[in-house]
Amino acid sequence: MINHLPILQVVIPLLVAPLCVLFRSPRLVWSIAALTCWIILVIAGVLLHEVLSNGVISYEIGGWAAPWGIEYRLDEANTLVLLIVSGIAAVVTSYARLSVEHEIAEDTIPLFYSAWMLCITGLLGITATGDAFNVFVFLEISSLSTYAMIAMGKDRRALTASFQYLVMGTIGATFILIGIGLMYMMTGTLNMADLAQRLPAVSDTRTIRAAAAFLTVGLSLKIALLPLHLWLPNAYAYAPSAATALLAATATKVALYVALRFMFTVQGVDFTFGQMRLDLILLPLSVVALLAMSMVAIFQTNVKRLLAYSSVAQIGYMTLGISMASATGLTGSILHIFNHALMKGGLFLALGAIMYRVGSVELDKLAGIAKRMPWTMAAFVAGGLSLIGVPTSVGFISKWYLILAALEKGWWPVVMLIVFTSLLAVIYIWRVIEVAYFHAATDENSGIKEAPLSLLLPTWLLIGASYYFGIDSSLSTSTAKLAVLRLWGGGL
């Protein structure tokens, strides 16, 4: 059975999704979903161990050999992302029970968990597959289920947010499909490893340049890179709390992984950075994203929106690392994918706990809340510190690598930028802390109790992980470095 693990990772949640529809009891459906997520986390752990000790795993679906059939190909880069997705899924699903019962009508809860499992299936499938068209199919699975989950938010604005994301996401997916189609037209293959071999011969054609452009724009939409981020703040703000945490910690990260896969493995460094000069586009966009979105975050009155804008800014760090086109920069990016998933996931879970008790995450409703919910707010503060990049937190590790990479290149202004945007993060996190800790509690807030343990434990699990990997970063950094070597394809 062990050699079937790459496909079981994706198929188990796929099988559980329709099962969720068949049952009525929210409690039962949740138990099945949570159990499944822990199983796939174990599978992801075993796979990472296998890959690190025995090298790349290839799995042929339906027994059809690789360039013709669909191949699942696991190397250091995507197994790390698999571990992130399934780890976050396991923790957030364990957390989801009370939060979902609180925010979603009882008869739609089974449908919610069905969409939830489909979303996880899609994200895992995108990551595991070695076939370009399969990426698109799983992208659609995860996107469609995401639109449904966002629309289930309690606020009526969730519907417009979901529709906005539907329109933008569909454009993005179409662009990605056009890009893949153009590459298929020139090479006659969809297998990524095969594409990587055949593309250099035709890389100097207008078709392939157009393919790269379509792919970059389409994936940027999914990543929410600056000018294409408009769907993200509303989607995160009005989605059910648990869904926000899952999406914020996984969806954009997986899209970024796909972008890395296409830029580095499929099209190759020479094409992406030598011929197309993608670094020249990514660098200014990342800088503007970091500066503008951190500033916008400062002025938000809804804490979920605040963190959403902060997410767009943090994505700027990841693309900044890519735009340096160096091994250290890419290591920083991949580390930030891992680290940001932990801390943003933890922060959104803390917010979900506040939502559960207070019923709102508007800043003025949170006055004096820290006295009532000390553990929840402590988790928020710890996550916030990690976001700022305080030493011993994961945020510090990834910023450290980004600064190292900038110094290697002699980009002093970029070093200043990273430090300056960390200070901006201090401001927006402080605004929440100030209201929660130093404002007198309003009368409405006087009866509020600490969040139940089933919400606190998963929150602290992620926050704790974000400090564990900040202190002992050997697993994440060594895997990230191996992933960089793999993505670069031996050109280092």
Partner 1 sequence: MKRNPVLRVITDLLLPPILLFALYVQFHGDYGPGGGFQAGVIFAAGIILYALVYGLKKTQRVLPPQRIRVFVALGVLLYAGTGIAGLLLGGNYLDYNVLGSNPLAGQHLGILLVELGVGITVAAVMIMVFYMFAGRK
Question: Which residues of this protein are in contact with partner 1, per CB under 8 A?
Answer: 4, 7, 11, 14-15, 17-19, 21-22, 59-63
Q: Which residues contact 176 (CB under 8 A, 6 or more apart)?
A: 135, 136, 139, 214, 215, 218, 219, 222
CB of 63 to partner 1, least distance (A): 4
Q: Measured between alpha carbons, how far is 253 from 85 in angstroms, rounded to an integer?
A: 9
CB of 61 to partner 1, least distance (A): 5
**H or E stretch including 60?**
strand 57-60
Residue 25, judged by CB atoms within 10 A of its CB (0-12, 13-18, 19+), counts as: exposed
**100 versus 128: smaller Cβ distance to partner 1:** 128
CB of 129 to partner 1, least distance (A): 12
**15 versus 416: smaller Cβ distance to partner 1:** 15
CB of 134 to partner 1, least distance (A): 12
Q: Measured between alpha carbons, how far is 442 from 92 in angstroms, rounded to an integer?
A: 31
CB 445 within 8 A of CB 358: yes
**56 versus 61: smaller Cβ distance to partner 1:** 61
Tokens of 379: 């988790």
- Number of neighbours of residue 368 by Cβ within 10 angstroms: 17
Q: Which residues contact 421 (CB under 8 A, 6 or more apart)?
A: 290, 291, 294, 313, 316
CB of 477 to partner 1, least distance (A): 34
**19 versus 210: smaller Cβ distance to partner 1:** 19
**60 versus 279: smaller Cβ distance to partner 1:** 60
**H or E stretch including 107?**
none
**9 versus 78: smaller Cβ distance to partner 1:** 9
- Give the sign of the dihedral formed by CA 259, CA 262, CA 264, CA 268: negative
Q: Measured between alpha carbons, how far is 98 from 265 in angstroms, rounded to an integer?
A: 42
CB of 297 to partner 1, least distance (A): 38
CB of 409 to partner 1, least distance (A): 45
**1 versus 440: smaller Cβ distance to partner 1:** 1
